[in-house]
Amino acid sequence: MKILFVLSGALLLCGLVLAKTFWGTPKAYVTSDIPHFWEAVDSLKNARNRADSIAIIQTLYLDRMSSEGKKFINIREYTAAEYVRTLYKYPNYFKTLRVKTNKIASYQTLLDSTFKKLKSAIPDYETPTVCFAIGCFRGGGTTKKDVILMGSEIALADSAMDFSEFKGNLRTTLSAGINLVDLVAHESIHCQQHHARNRSLLSIALQEGTANFLPALILHNKIDVSKDQYALAHECELWQEFKNQVDNDNLDQWLFNTSTIKNRPPDLGYFMGMRICEAYYNRHTNKAEAITTLLDRSKYMELLEQSGYKGNCAGK
């Protein structure tokens, strides 16, 4: 990583807020897209019609995105028209979100500490860049190589905000509050994963399970699944279903289904992946080697087989 020198104690350089980690390697927080978003929102009062609103979002926000923010937009395939629909659908929520985005700089010390802990425990850990942007509720975080792309409309949600305009799983998820540190830590693990060749249910569940398991282990020194009450109560049943679908590439019943799943809680594949990762890690005495294997996505079948995980079905 190139060393960036910050002259005269400046905190802003080309839209990047720079911080120094314990290890002396600068990393960047990209925040310049947030004020551009609110400038666009404020300018909507001048719109005479929907076409004007779309043009304002396009010109004042999307066309001015940072290079990292452009990656966020391209991955999510957001359009100016979608932003206009979203803003008019959830006006009260966005008012409360604005207060949270004004405090983004205050989160950076906490995130610095998080990266320090992860780097101390994970072999060859590389501290990522973090970009804060605002999207349309289609994901709180994603990654592009060594950059974490945060959808702040989800990532900054807490239980004190106004959720009166939401329904269903999205309301349940947001109103419970999002732990920003855990979410950024999760995405940072994705930045360390490699050999992503397979898109099967097992491969993706272990990808996500690893990104949940390692931060829980390293940051909290425990694997707390108490919030997964449904999954715990139905773990054996879920395993019997999951194990017969591990080679499938249809993830609809297991992953990324907050807005679509109807018959049970969303994203149960995260739970299954995390349980397999936990079982694998616990069976290996060489913990550093176990972590290295967890990050190698080409070893998903080996990982399952060596984990010995059987759904905790004994006695059921």
Tens digits of residue pLDDT in 8-47: 333 333 344 444 433 334 468 999 999 999 999 999 999 9
CA distances from 314 to 235, 276, 281, 306, 310 (A): 11, 16, 20, 18, 9
Provide the pLDDT for residue 224: 67
The C-alpha atoms of residue 25 and residue 79 are separated, in whole angstroms, by 35
Question: pTM of this prediction?
Answer: 0.88
Q: What angle do CA 205, 209, 212 make, to 5 degrees?
A: 150
CB atoms within 10 A of CB 229: 10
Provide the pLDDT for residue 316: 62
CB atoms within 10 A of CB 70: 18
Provide the pLDDT for residue 226: 65
Regions of the chain with pLDDT less than 70? 1-27, 224, 226, 315-316
Provide the pLDDT for residue 19: 43
Provide the pLDDT for residue 216: 94
Q: Is 76 left (phi over 0), alpha (psi -120 to 50) or beta?
A: alpha
Provide the pLDDT for residue 195: 87
Provide the pLDDT for residue 220: 85
Pairing of strands 26-30, 16-20: antiparallel
